[in-house]
Amino acid sequence: MNWLDEGALYSSIGLFLREDLGRGDITTQAVLSRNVRAKGRFVAGEKMVVAGLEAAEEVFITLDPHAQIEAFVADGEEVEAGKVIGRTSGFADVLLAGERVALNLLQHLSGVATRTREFVNAIEGTQAKIADTRKTTPGLRMLEKYAVLLGGGVNHRHGLDDGVFIKANHAALAGGVGTAVKSTREKIGHLHKVEVEVASDRELKEAIDNGADAVVIEASAATELIKTAREMSAIVAIVVSGAVTKENVRAIAEAGADLIRVNSLTQSVRAMDISFQIQPG
Amino acid sequence: MNWLDEGALYSSIGLFLREDLGRGDITTQAVLSRNVRAKGRFVAGEKMVVAGLEAAEEVFITLDPHAQIEAFVADGEEVEAGKVIGRTSGFADVLLAGERVALNLLQHLSGVATRTREFVNAIEGTQAKIADTRKTTPGLRMLEKYAVLLGGGVNHRHGLDDGVFIKANHAALAGGVGTAVKSTREKIGHLHKVEVEVASDRELKEAIDNGADAVVIEASAATELIKTAREMSAIVAIVVSGAVTKENVRAIAEAGADLIRVNSLTQSVRAMDISFQIQPG
Amino acid sequence: MNWLDEGALYSSIGLFLREDLGRGDITTQAVLSRNVRAKGRFVAGEKMVVAGLEAAEEVFITLDPHAQIEAFVADGEEVEAGKVIGRTSGFADVLLAGERVALNLLQHLSGVATRTREFVNAIEGTQAKIADTRKTTPGLRMLEKYAVLLGGGVNHRHGLDDGVFIKANHAALAGGVGTAVKSTREKIGHLHKVEVEVASDRELKEAIDNGADAVVIEASAATELIKTAREMSAIVAIVVSGAVTKENVRAIAEAGADLIRVNSLTQSVRAMDISFQIQPG
Amino acid sequence: MNWLDEGALYSSIGLFLREDLGRGDITTQAVLSRNVRAKGRFVAGEKMVVAGLEAAEEVFITLDPHAQIEAFVADGEEVEAGKVIGRTSGFADVLLAGERVALNLLQHLSGVATRTREFVNAIEGTQAKIADTRKTTPGLRMLEKYAVLLGGGVNHRHGLDDGVFIKANHAALAGGVGTAVKSTREKIGHLHKVEVEVASDRELKEAIDNGADAVVIEASAATELIKTAREMSAIVAIVVSGAVTKENVRAIAEAGADLIRVNSLTQSVRAMDISFQIQPG
Amino acid sequence: MNWLDEGALYSSIGLFLREDLGRGDITTQAVLSRNVRAKGRFVAGEKMVVAGLEAAEEVFITLDPHAQIEAFVADGEEVEAGKVIGRTSGFADVLLAGERVALNLLQHLSGVATRTREFVNAIEGTQAKIADTRKTTPGLRMLEKYAVLLGGGVNHRHGLDDGVFIKANHAALAGGVGTAVKSTREKIGHLHKVEVEVASDRELKEAIDNGADAVVIEASAATELIKTAREMSAIVAIVVSGAVTKENVRAIAEAGADLIRVNSLTQSVRAMDISFQIQPG
Amino acid sequence: MNWLDEGALYSSIGLFLREDLGRGDITTQAVLSRNVRAKGRFVAGEKMVVAGLEAAEEVFITLDPHAQIEAFVADGEEVEAGKVIGRTSGFADVLLAGERVALNLLQHLSGVATRTREFVNAIEGTQAKIADTRKTTPGLRMLEKYAVLLGGGVNHRHGLDDGVFIKANHAALAGGVGTAVKSTREKIGHLHKVEVEVASDRELKEAIDNGADAVVIEASAATELIKTAREMSAIVAIVVSGAVTKENVRAIAEAGADLIRVNSLTQSVRAMDISFQIQPG
């Protein structure tokens, strides 16, 4: 992550800690004295692609700059159940205060990376790439998109300002795919490409005739439209979106898609089983 | 939601929009002229308990105070597939700018409420209540806990400052359940109760003898320990936590639990199928 | 203070300095050259319980991370007039810029701790504790409540979210003490106790019959109602509030109060006499 | 107050409410239903100069823009015990949530204004004015200085950037009063006057000879030095500071002081007795 | 401007006002009573393209939501000397407090728009467009880029995240233009085009061979390299940058440039002569 | 710069970087690997007074606290074309990310300092001083006023709260210069002087008779009014403002002005020619 990503990360971690800590951890304050030291280990409870260790480390550093943290795997690495992926040591109250936020991030982001890896593996050997969507968790987009990269996928747009994507809604309001692409071509900066959703041969033709750089096809209609698109243009990028599943993703890739957008990389994510084991010391 | 919840909501919505909009929606700016008006409808694609309509409304209001929004169901209501749950009208660029953030919130929060309702229904007729945990999505705790209420559940702690809960980790670091409860009793304010995790008859006895107000029992050991706890004390609240599933929740409730904490209310949430249909007007 | 307290403290100190410094200390800039070094000593001008040294140190550290500060007593310690309680050395402009904010905090917070200690001493040997109220200085609650702890008192609620306290106003609007306690019992989380203000034998009975955990009695009526309360219940906590003075506090404690809330711990606080003596060096 | 004062006020009020409300008023949420309406009256419990009504109004408006508020006296007006100084109506939860913050401000600020008025009255008929100092409550300076104006006093510096005041510490570090005034005269902007603390005839002479516009004299030495100063210069402003009390203030004024700075206007302030009486409706 | 632009604008205006007002306009407070009303007119002192009226209006609205403002020309319109471009009425203290910030913005932004228009006019009839650079005033980029649009220019990148532009520095560090373009092509998202600076026929060829979408040529070498570029590729966009002046811009456009980037649109901007005339009423 | 200036500087630099970097430098991320190191040199392209090196350094430090920076001249020093004024080394992505913001600041602020120096030199040997105005770039006032000091000028007011300056507008609304000065004298704090704009002998007399400390005269009428003013009062400060140019400034100084305010110190500033040369290492 670059400077700004890191800046955004630090700022988010602070918000997440405040959300959980409020005025402070009253249980730990009542149970423990201030100077008790402890060690904690993050242990994978199932096979997974790890993501979020860097964020988890940041949680403890935010609470105490002197906390010691050691990662045993890099973000993006695949581990088996039972693997100790990292450990931390410091004051017990710091470990207990950061435990839940660190785990919530780590489990969720590892879920994103693991699912991404499954889709990437499913199309291995094809020319296609697995991409994410904007169906992310509000407030976690940067972290989730980073986990997609760790899983081996690529990022589609980071936001509405990060690339032109004319959806069916836009086309309908503008009077058709052709009009929309044409209007965009004229107004958009010279550094942006134009991507447009198409649902029929006619729309495909309108898109390509008006200079679209990429066309987006619904998964259900993918096989046929991909073939037509390839016949119409050698250079237009072909993107498939919508109801993409582990079952149909390989067929879509083999049909010739360049990019396959998968909602479930970042939506309805299953949190990975990771535990944090604390002991004195 | 009260004033502060609303304040926090507004502030979060602003962050979520900035995350998605960055410097602005360059597609819509290129495709549409500024004054095109449109209507949008939120349509449920499956049976669900609706949650997040208030937040979705706030998304459009934040973008344009003059946007018109109408909810056809209240947050917390159960609807069937096909139900139009709300509609909005205004400038097309406002609807397109808010669509994704509104849907991301609505689908996720309805997922939380719907799953909560399923657990609540599963123990209908018992004295037990379904409660959430701190295993929430960082940044969305307030909204997720609100969705749990809409689903019929109750909230456990909002954060580490919102009630005393001595976990096994605390007890281990403090030298045992008894010592931990005793120490807490002495230090904690008179308005707080003391809840403690116990894993054996001995710990149960230590907890009750030292004045714990509530004991938390792992789901796997629930049936037996609940029985023992009831015999030891008529007034201690019995909380079950851990591997609670739709399959075992009723048995736990019938065994006499007062409160059953379910991780999956807010973890690994399945986003509900909700679409936003836009048309000119 | 824990992490969040410290975070809040640092952030407040920054605000306080900006309030006093505006665009900068134009006198010192005109009078002194930049590199003049100086030493300063905080000297107690009367007997007091010191509170706020940690905050005062933070003032100078905020202005210059390289400022040297040494505390000769710990916050919470009692000192006699003439005692040098701490000293600092660094650039003269830093000392002059921080002097007033540091003193304003130190004098006020020592005033809170000193008055608390007087009340605590006044009931020495009884079972009662001295507690604060929400009658604090807006913006300084955290620091004032910390000073109460240093003086030997305990904190009542930190805010309206930190415990249930049904006041006469609540009861009146809800239709009586009994109704209010009953309604609260049903709605409030299982980790919270219920405290209620009562002004007569009838209200006391309604409170206890409906399961109140603590009752709050006006100081003027304390002696009699405490006796009645003790007869009605062995376990209800008895809190006295209102016109508590150094004159009547011991009688109230001896009558059997568990907790005595004193407005004047944090209201109409007398600033302690502390000076800051600067010399070259 | 002007625009920025108002901006700062609104922002402070928000902080003060968050400090008291945290995650929300759990008692009121449990006791009352959302739509109960109520009325509240602020009643003076003693004779006082009212200050802070505008701020108190802002508290309720911040919580609910539809709250109705009516002031029966203007800030700065003197009232007798028993006077209803304002009333408010709206949702009961809004009134209960704002009550404490509103009262804490109103009682403290009225304390400042009332004490100021007492000093102003004590020197009635002389040419002197009563001024405040920087011994204010951190975070409340703007409001306290406004209350001083309402009490009939004038404001000395709002902060270290708001005027040149060479104190004894500055002079000592700079090598004497004369050197300090001279250096300042050369460096300071042409729109600022130079005020300097003097403790002897010699320092007075040095100050005036080097072009000081105002001299500050300790209260204990006031009478004599004022006389000397008047003899030395017809135009230098004479300010008295330090141990000024209601007992000695008139003598100081009559000795010829132009401005008398009183620490206790804003330090060790006694909160005025004001109550907030709520009833249904 | 869209929602976020407006949000950013409002937030900037607040900062600009605080910068100028500090603790408030002490002159106006001393000279005028609060309720004096006044009218103000913005008058162009020379021929110009107006830009910033919307921002100037926002200044007064921020100070007082009830201020009345009327624009007589739209932003982007060209006016002659003497033209009254807008007027405002409200409280005199509001007009006097906003005057300087409003003028500073209006004069500077009109300077940007006017200079842009001059360059646009200079290439009228050619296929080229005038574009801005990142040589903007820190903190004013959004407003300055908006003024460029009003002047008839187009925006190049809003920031380093808004399009790929490989400069000579990048190429040097990466081992040449060819390597840099190739590496970028592989790593960059499919919605971004690749623009690269070239300084010779060889670099031009490397760029085009590796799939650059646009090449940037120094103004001094423009004529020759444009010709070569056109011969090498029909579709690569040709951008000219660097020492572009009103004298050479037309020749560059006629040589076939698609986009001409002009530093001086936003650098060393001459503030337009605009006055604000206030009168009672 | 003192603490607060530095605080404000750091905070501004962060905003300026965010403005330019958005979600990150996508070109550098695509072209370079993370660990490439580089060196950069700032080279003056013309004769100038350097200002902003400290700010430029802060840019790189903000991006990476480990960046190495070395200034070869002090801010305020005059250099010839070709002079290397500073160099920096660190990771290449850090240098490339900070380059534009650093240059934008350095070129603009050096422009301010250089122009100031030119005016200062033009009046060398007279008693007059060159001062700035409030015609600054919104958001950059503090930095621009600092550059004026570096150029040898003095600062007039930092903002509307930093000194009393009664302009013609004020006087007109108040009923004349005399009334305005008189009213101000009565209301303004004793540490402020009163400056007033005058346009005729009559206004000059009204100002002086009512106790103005400084009078401001339009450049066009300067010679004559300065003479009159000097005859009327030996102590009133004489300030000239308005159409001051390098051509007429010496005559104004020689006519006896104490302070000459020059709009163009900070308005229509010409950015100095400074380049940043990067090479591997």
What is the per-residue pLDDT across A92-132, written as a single tens digit (0 to 9) for each?
A: 999 999 999 999 999 999 999 999 999 999 999 999 999 99
CA angle F197, F203, F204 (to 5 degrees): 80
Nearest-CA residue of chain E relative to F157?
A: E20
Within 13 Å of residue C11, how many CA atoms lie on the same side as its CB? 10
Please tell me the distance from the alpha carbon of residue A156 to that of residue A195, in angstroms, as a whole number.
Answer: 11
Radius of gyration of chain C, Cα coordinates, nearest whole angstrom: 23
Q: What is the pLDDT of residues E103-121, one digit of tens each?
A: 999 999 999 999 999 999 9
Q: Read off the pLDDT band of B237 (50, 70, 90).
A: very high
User: Exposure of C149 by Cβ count < 10 A (0-12 exposed, 13-18 middle, 19+ buried)?
Assistant: middle
Whether pLDDT at E49 is above 80: yes
The β-bridge partners of D38 are: D90, D280
pLDDT of residue C176: 95
Q: Report the candidate in D221, D217, D228 with the shortest Cα–Cα distance to residue D259.
A: D217
How does residue B10 score in pLDDT terms, banded at 50, 70 and 90? low
- Dihedral of alpha carbons D48, D51, D54, D55, sign: negative
- Between chains, do F36 and E140 touch, taking CB under 8 Å as contact? no
Cβ distance C190 to B237 less than 8 Å, yes or no, reads: yes
Positive or negative: CA dihedral E169, E171, E172, E177: negative
In this model, does residue C3 exceed pLDDT 80? no
- What is the three-state SS of chain A? CCHHHHHHHHHHHHHHHHHHHCCCCHHHHHHCCCCCEEEEEEEECCCEECCCHHHHHHHHHHHCCCCEEEECCCCCCEECCCCEEEEEEEEHHHHHHHHHHHHHHHHHHHHHHHHHHHHHHHCCCCCCEEECCCCCCCCCHHHHHHHHHHHCCECCCCCCCCCEEECHHHHHHHCCHHHHHHHHHHHCCCCECEEEEECCHHHHHHHHHCCCCEEEEEHHHHHHHHHHHHHHCCCCEEEEECCCCCCCHHHHHHCCCCEEECHHHCCCCCCCCEEEEEEEC
Residues with Cβ within 8 Å of C76's Cβ and at least 6 positions away in sequence, in order, are C49, C50, C51, C113, C149, C150, C151
Buried b vs exposed e over C168-180: b needs ≥16 C-beta within 10 Å? bbbbebbeebbeb
Give the separation between CA D223 and CA D217, rounded to whole angstroms.
Answer: 9
Contact D21 B3 (CB under 8 A): yes
Residue ranges in chain F whose pLDDT is less than 70: 1-10
Among D3, D5, D158, beta carbon nearest to E63: D3
pLDDT tens-digit map of B67-107: 989 999 999 999 999 999 999 999 999 999 999 999 999 99
Is C232 in a helix, a strand, or coil? helix
CA distance C143 to chain E (A): 27
pLDDT digits (tens, 9 = 90+) for A247-274: 999 999 999 999 999 999 999 999 999 9
Spatial distance between the Cα atoms of B99 and A133, rounded to a whole number of angstroms:
14
Cα–Cα distance measured from residue E217 to residue D65, given in angstroms and rounded to the nearest whole number: 58
b/e map F199-232, b = 16+ CB within 10 Å: beeebbbbbbebebbbbbbbbeebbebbebbeee
Which pLDDT band, with edges at 50, 70 and 90, does E1 fall under? very low
Lowest mean pLDDT among C106-115, E69-78, E222-231, F27-36: F27-36
pLDDT recorded at residue F5: 56
Contacts of residue C7, defined as CB under 8 A and 6 or more positions apart, other chains included, come to none
Q: What is the pLDDT of residues E36-46, one digit of tens each?
A: 999 999 999 99
Contact list, F258 vs chain D (CB under 8 Å): 190
- Name every residue whose Cβ is closer than 8 Å to that of residue C176 and which is 6 or more positions away in sequence: C203, C206
pLDDT at res. A177: 97
A214 contacts in chain E (CB < 8 Å)? 190-191
Chain B neighbours (≥3 Cβ pairs under 8 A) are A, C, D, E, F
> Helix, strand, or coil here: B192?
strand
Buried b / exposed e over B231-251, threshold 16 CB at 10 Å, is eebeebbbbbbbebeeebbbe
Q: What is the mean pLDDT of residues D265-271?
A: 98
The average pLDDT across D24-39 equals 90
Give the residue from chain C lying closest to A17, CA to CA.
Answer: C4
To test the contact with chain C by mutation, choose from B1, B157, B188, B190 the residue with the greatest count of C C-beta atoms within 10 A, namely: B190
Using CA atoms, how far residue A45 sits from A56, A82, B245, in Å, is 17, 6, 18
Does E19 contact chain C (CB < 8 Å)?
no
Do residue A136 and residue B104 have CB atoms under 8 angstroms apart?
A: yes
* Best CA proximity match to B103, nearest among A246, E5, A263, A166: A263
Within chain C, how many helices (H) and strands (E) appear? 10, 12
Rg (CA), chain B: 23
Residues of D190-215 as b/e, b for ≥16 C-beta within 10 angstroms? bbbbbbbbbbeeebbbbbbebebbbb
Pick from A3, A5, A159: which is nearest to F63 by CB?
Answer: A3
pLDDT tens, C245-257?
A: 999 999 999 999 9
Residues B8 and B133: their CA atoms lie apart, in Å, by: 20
Judged against a pLDDT cut of 60, whether residue A4 lies above it is answered with no
Q: Which residues of C touch B191 (CB under 8 A)?
A: 156-157, 162-165, 192-193, 195, 213-214
Q: How far apart are CA B110 and CA D156, in angstroms?
A: 58
CA angle D233, D235, D241 (to 5 degrees): 85
Q: What is the pLDDT of residue E5?
A: 64
The Cα of C62 is separated from the nearest Cα of chain D by a number of Å equal to 15
Which residues between 115 and 134 in chain B have a beta carbon less than 8 angstroms from any beta carbon of chain D? none
Nearest CB neighbour to A28, from listed B97, B162, B170: B170
CA B125/CA B250 separation, integer angstroms: 10
Q: Rounded mean pLDDT of A167-172?
A: 93
Query: What mean pLDDT value characterizes chain C?
Result: 93
Q: Rounded to 5 degrees, what angle do the CA atoms C20, C24, C29 make?
A: 125
- The DSSP secondary-structure symbol of F154 reads B
CA B53 – CA B276 distance, rounded (Å): 12
Beta bridge pairs of residue B259: B129, B239
As given in the structure block, the two tokens for residue F103 are: 């240059």
- Nearest C-alpha in F relative to E277: F169
The answer to whether F272 and F53 are in contact (CB under 8 A) is no
Which of residues 21 through 80 in chain B touch F, CB cutoff 8 A?
22-23
Q: Give the contacts of A250 (CB within 8 A, at least 6 positions apart).
A: A122, A123, A126
* E154 CB-side CA count, 13 A: 16
The residue in chain C having the minimum alpha-carbon distance to the alpha carbon of residue E22 is C22
- b (16+ CB within 10 A) / e for D61-96: bbbbeebebebebebbbebeeebebbbbbbbbbbbb
CB C150 within 8 A of CB C51: yes
Q: What is the pLDDT of residues A7-46, one digit of tens each?
A: 666 678 988 999 999 888 999 999 988 788 999 999 999 9
The subunits that touch chain D, with at least 3 C-beta pairs less than 8 Å apart, are A, B, C, E, F
- CA-nearest residue of chain B to E141? B23
pLDDT (0 to 100) of residue B2: 46
Q: What angle do CA D95, D97, D101 make, to 5 degrees?
A: 100
Chain C, 204-233: which have a CB under 8 Å from a chain B CB? 213-214
CA distance E25 to E20: 9
C253 phi and psi, to 5 degrees?
-65, -45
What was the pLDDT predicted at C114? 98
And the tokens for D79? Answer: 């009232």
pLDDT band (50, 70, 90) for residue A1:
very low
Please give the Cα distance from F40 to F38 (Å, whole number): 7
Closest CA to E97 of E50, E38, E147, E46: E38
ipTM for the assembly: 0.95
User: Which of B88, B29, B36 shows the shortest CA–CA distance to B62?
Assistant: B88
What percent of chain C has pLDDT above 90?
A: 82
Tokens of D37: 């309406």
Query: Across the interface, which of D157, D189, D258 has its CB nearest the CB of F155?
Result: D189
Which residues are CB-neighbours of E70 under 8 A, at least 6 positions away?
A: E86, E87, E88
Which of B16, B23, B30 lies at the smallest CB-CB distance from A188?
A: B30
Touching F (3+ Cβ pairs <8 A), the chains are A, B, C, D, E
Distance CA E98, CA E103 (A): 8
DSSP assignments along B78-100, one per residue: EE-TT-EEEEEEEEHHHHHHHHH
Q: What is the mean pLDDT of chain B?
A: 93
For the entire predicted model, the pTM comes to 0.93
Q: Which two tokens stand for residue F136?
A: 């600054």
- Nearest-CA residue of chain A relative to D23? A22
**E11 CB within 8 Å of a chain B CB:** no
The letter for the amino acid at E225 is L
> For position C221, what pLDDT does the model report?
86
Q: Above 50 in pLDDT, residue A3?
A: no
